[in-house]
Amino acid sequence: MRPSANIIPLAVVGLVVTGIVGFLVAILFISWFSNPPFGLGNAPAQPIDFPHTVHAGSVEEGGVGISCEFCHRNVTEGAAATVPAVEQCVFCHQQINPENLMASSSADQEQMQLVVDKFNDNDPINWERVHRIPDHVRFVHEAHIRFLTEGEARTVAMPIGDGQPRQLPLTTQQACSVCHGDVAAMTEVQPTPGQSLKMGTCVDCHRELNVGTDCTICHK
Amino acid sequence: MVTSRIDHKWGMVVDLDRCNGCQACVIACQVENNIPINDKNAFLQNRAYEWIRVERYWEGEYPNIKARFIPVMCQHCQDAPCEPVCPVFATYHNDEGLNVQIYNRCVGTRYCINNCPYQVRFFNYWHPNWPERMQNQLNPDVTVRTRGITEKCTFCIQRIRRGQLQVERRGGGELNDATLKSGNHMPACVQACPTNALTFGDQNDVHSPVQPYFEDVNRYNIHHEKERKTRGYRVLEEMNTRPNVIYLKKVDPNLDSSGGHHG
C-alpha cells in the first residue's frame, strides 16, 4: 500500500480530535474565567414579570422606594434572604387600591391577576433562583448585612464590583447592592459582571478585611 | 467569629458511667447532619455511616454478664493520622482545634479512612437517598454529601458557627459554656443525651466543665496514668494522637477482672 493512501483519513481523524479537544479547552477556559460563570450570567425567565424598578426604585425615578428587607424579611435575621409570601404581595396591593390591585396598565393587571390566582389557590410562586451558590457553600446574609450597615463610620477596601473603598455603615439597600448590583434599576434581576459570587470574590473580601478565611466559615 | 477572634479549643468529655447505650445520640446526629438512612444492605457490606456510634462490649460470662457501651465519634485528634495522608488537603486542623473535612476539596482517595485508628471516617459509596416524604426534613445548614467523598463528625460546626453569629449579633461577649447551652449550640448528640453522658465545651475556658478533665489528662500522660486525679482517659492513648475527646472510666463496685470480649 502506498503511504499516501493513509494520509487523508489520518489527517481527518487528527483534525477531528484537535477540534474536539480545542472545543473542550475553550469551554473550560470560558467557564473558569468568565464572570459570572458560563451559563449563569443571564436572567432566568420568571413566572411573573416582577419589576424591581417599580417596587424598589427611588421615588424620583417613578418607583415606590420600598427597602429590600421589607420583602426579603429574613435577610437581617438569618442565613437565607427569603422571597416574600404571596400573601405579602396581595396584602399591600389590596390595601393601596382594592379596585384594580394597584396596576396601572392592562399588562400589569394581567400579571397582577397571576398573583391573585396563586393567592386564591394557596399556591406559592415558584420564582427562579438568580444568584446561586453551590450546595457546599453556606452563606449567611445576616452577618454580612450587619457588618455593612452597623458599627461606627469607617472606610474599608472591598475588592468586589468596581473595587472602590466604601464608606460604612451603608443603608440596607446599598449593602445589598455590594454583591447583587443595583437591583432597584433592573426590570429583570440578573447577576452583575464582577459580582458573580464565585469563591474568589468571597475570599478576596475576607482576606482584605481580615475576617477569617477558615474553610468551615462557609463550607460545613 | 469574624470581627472579634476568640481563642477557642473545643473538646468533649464522655462519661461512660452515665452512658446506657440508648442510641439517642446516633439518631440525633443522623437527623442533624443529613446522614442517609442505613439499610440492611449497607450494614452487610460494612458501608454504613454513623458519625457517632455506640459500641457494645460484653463483659464476663453468663450469668454474670455485663453490657458495656462506649460512644465513638471523630476524636478530633490534635496529631491526627488522617491529616498528613490527604493528597488534596481536604482534611486539616483549624484554629479552633477541630479536625475538619472540606467536602468540595475531597477527591475520595480514602487514605484518611485507612489511616484512622478509630474508624470514624466514612466514604459515600452511594448517592444519598431519602424517602420522598423525608425530602423536606434535611438540615439546611449542612451540606448533603455527594457520592465519592469522605465524611465524618464535625462537632456540629454549623451549630458552633450559628452560636458565634448569634452571640455576636446580640452585642459581643463570647461563645462560652453558658451561651452554648442557652442557645442550644452544642452538638446534636450532646443535646440529645438523656443522661448527660456527653459534655461539650471550650478547653481554653476555665469555667467550662470539660476544662479540668483536659488539664488533668494533659498533665499526666499515658505513662503516668495512675497519677491522674480524674477518671479521664483517651481511647487508644498509646497511639499518641492526642484526641480532643476524653472518656471517663466506668465506676464499677463489683469489678470483674476476667476481661471482656467484643460481642
Q: Which domain holds residue B239?
A: 10-253
A220 to B141: CB separation less than 8 angstroms, yes or no? yes
Residue B44 falls inside a structural domain: yes
**Residue B262: pLDDT band by 50, 70, 90 thresholds?**
very low
User: Rounded to whole angstroms, how far apart are CA atoms B35 and B27?
Assistant: 10
* C-alpha span between A157 and A205 (Å, rounded): 8
| Rounded distance between C-alpha atoms, residue B12 and residue B202, angstroms | 9
Cis ω on the peptide bond leading into residue B63 (within 30° of 0)?
Answer: yes
Question: Residue A179: left if φ>0, alpha if ψ -120 to 50, beta else—which one?
Answer: alpha
The answer to whether ipTM exceeds 0.90 is: no
Q: Select from B88, B105, B128 the least CA-distant residue to A219.
A: B105
pLDDT band of residue B31 (cuts 50, 70, 90) is very high
Nearest CA in chain B to A147: B3
Q: Is the pLDDT of residue A102 over 70?
A: no
- Bridge partners of B59? B66, B260
Helix runs in A67-159, H state only = 68-71, 86-96, 106-120, 141-149
User: Which three cell numbers, joined as nine digits, stand for B149?
Assistant: 467523598
- Of B71, B64, B66, whose CA–CA distance to B19 is shortest? B71
pLDDT of residue B1: 43
Contact A136 B5 (CB under 8 A): no
Q: Is residue B71 part of a domain?
A: yes
List pLDDT tens digits, range A5-62. Answer: 678 888 899 999 999 999 999 988 877 776 666 666 677 888 888 888 888 888 888 7
Instruction: Return the closest-CA partner of residue A84 out of A47, A54, A114, A124.
Output: A124
* Distance between B104 CA and the closest CA of chain A, angstroms: 7
Across the A:B interface, residue pairs with CB atoms under 8 Å apart total 57
Closest-CA residue to B119 (of B74, B83, B163, B89): B74
In a domain, B246, yes or no: yes
Using CB atoms and an 8 Å cut-off, which of residues 118-157 of chain B contact chain A?
140-144, 154, 157
- Write out residues 123-142 of A within 8 Å (CB-CB) of B: 134-136, 138, 140, 142
Q: Do B144 and A135 touch (CB under 8 A)?
A: yes
Please answer whether residues B71 and B172 qualify as being in contact, where contact means their C-beta atoms are separated by less than 8 angstroms: no
How many angstroms separate the CA atoms of A52 and A176, rounded? 13
CATH no. for residue B138?
3.30.70.20
Report CA-CA distances (Å) from B37 to A136, A205, B24, B49, B134: 20, 39, 15, 9, 11
Mutant choice from B161, B162, B166, B168 vs A, greatest count of A C-beta within 10 A = B161
Structure confidence by residue, pLDDT tens digits, A193-220: 666 677 888 898 899 888 888 899 999 8
Q: Are A63 and A57 in contact (CB under 8 A)?
A: yes
Q: Which of A88, A80, A195 is nearest to A145 (CA)?
A: A80
Q: Looking at the partner chain, which of B3, B143, B169 has a beta carbon nearest the beta carbon of A135?
A: B143
From residue B261, alpha-carbon distances to A177, B55, B59, B63, B258 in Å are 64, 12, 6, 15, 10
The packing angle between helices A141-149 and B157-169, to 10°, is: 30
Confidence (pTM)? 0.85
- Candidates A143, A212, A219; nearest CB to B103: A219
Report which listed range, A89-93, B28-32, B57-61, is most confident: B28-32
Strands (DSSP E) found in B40-121: 53-59, 66-72, 91-93, 99-101
Taking CB atoms and an 8 Å cutoff, what residues of chain A touch B143? 135-136, 138, 219-220
Residues 68-97 of chain B with CB under 8 A from chain A are: 92, 94-96
Is A152 part of the contact surface with chain B (CB cutoff 8 Å)?
A: no
Residue/partner pairs of B174-178 with CB below 8 Å, 24 or more apart: B174/B4, B174/B6, B175/B6, B175/B8, B175/B202, B176/B202, B176/B205, B176/B207, B176/B208, B177/B201, B177/B202, B177/B205, B177/B207, B177/B208, B177/B209
Per-residue pLDDT for B2 more than 70?
Answer: no
Taking the CA of residue A210 and the nearest CA in chain B, the distance in Å comes to 8
Percent of chain A surpassing pLDDT 90: 17
- The answer to whether residue B262 is domain-embedded is no
The more confidently predicted of residues A77 and A25 is: A25
On chain B, the residues whose CB falls within 8 A of the CB of A168 are none
Q: Could you report the per-residue pLDDT of B87-96, keeping only the tens digit for each?
A: 999 999 998 8
Judged against a pLDDT cut of 70, whether residue B18 lies above it is answered with: yes
**A85 vs B262 pLDDT, higher one:** A85
pLDDT of residue A166: 86
Q: What percent of chain B has pLDDT over 90?
A: 64
Lowest-confidence region among A65-79, A93-107, A173-187, B210-224: A93-107
The strand pairing partners of B101, in sequence order, are B91
Q: Note whether B104 contacts A212, CB cutoff 8 Å.
A: no
User: Is residue B263 one of the residues assigned to a domain?
Assistant: no
The per-residue pLDDT for A100 is 57
CB-CB under 8 Å, B144 with A138: no
Do B157 and A214 count as a contact with CB atoms less than 8 A apart?
no
Section B213-223 average pLDDT: 91
Q: Is residue B260 part of a domain?
A: no
Q: What is the pLDDT of residue B3?
A: 46
What is the distance between the alpha carbons of residues B49 and B26, in angstroms, rounded to a whole number?
10
Task: Tell me whether residue B28 is in a domain.
Answer: yes
Residue B193 lies in a domain: yes
Question: Residues 6 or more apart from B97 whose CB is under 8 A from it?
Answer: B8, B9, B10, B11, B76, B78, B203, B244
User: How far apart, in whole angstroms, are the C-alpha atoms of residue B106 and residue A39?
Assistant: 25
Grid cell listed for A170: 451603608
pLDDT at A176 over 50: yes
Query: Which positions ≥6 away from B80 have C-beta within 8 Å?
Result: B91, B93, B99, B241
Q: Over chain B, what is the mean pLDDT?
A: 89
Distance from the Cα of residue A171 to its chain's centroid: 19
Q: B103 vs A138: CB contact, 8 Å cut-off?
A: no
pLDDT at B162 over 80: yes
According to DSSP, residue A41 is labeled S
Q: Does residue A169 have a cis peptide bond before it, meaning omega lies within 30 degrees of 0?
A: yes
Cell of residue A217, nine digits: 466559615
Total count of domains within chain B? 1
- Residues B77-96: what's their mean pLDDT? 93
